[in-house]
Amino acid sequence: MALTTESIIRLPTHKKVLILVLVLALIFALFWQLSYKPQRERIARKEKKLAQLINERNVKRKLAAQYDKYKADLKVIRERLKEVVAKLPEKKEIPLLLKSISNIGKGAGLDIVLFKPKGEQLREFYAEVPFELKFVGGYHQIGLFFYNVGKLPRIVSIKDFAVTRAKAEGEEVLLQATCLAATYRFVEQPKKKKGATGSKRAKRTKKGGKRR
Give CA torsion, residues 72, 73, 79, 84, to 10 deg.
180
- Averaged pLDDT for residues 23-47: 80
**Least confident span in 65-74, 86-95, 101-110, 192-201:** 192-201
Q: How far is CA 187 from CA 23, 44, 87, 121, 184, in A?
A: 89, 60, 13, 11, 9
What's the distance, CA 196 to chain centroid? 29
pLDDT of 149 over the 70 cut? yes
The pTM (predicted TM-score) of the whole model is 0.47
- Averaged pLDDT for residues 132-145: 89
pLDDT-derived band at 138 (thresholds 50, 70, 90) equals confident
pLDDT of 110 over the 80 cut? yes
Mean pLDDT of the chain: 76
- Length of the chain in terms of residues written: 212
Contacts of 162 (CB under 8 A, 6+ apart): 177, 178, 179
Task: Using the Cα atoms of residue 35, residue 39, residue 40 and residue 42 in order, give the sign of their dihedral.
Answer: positive
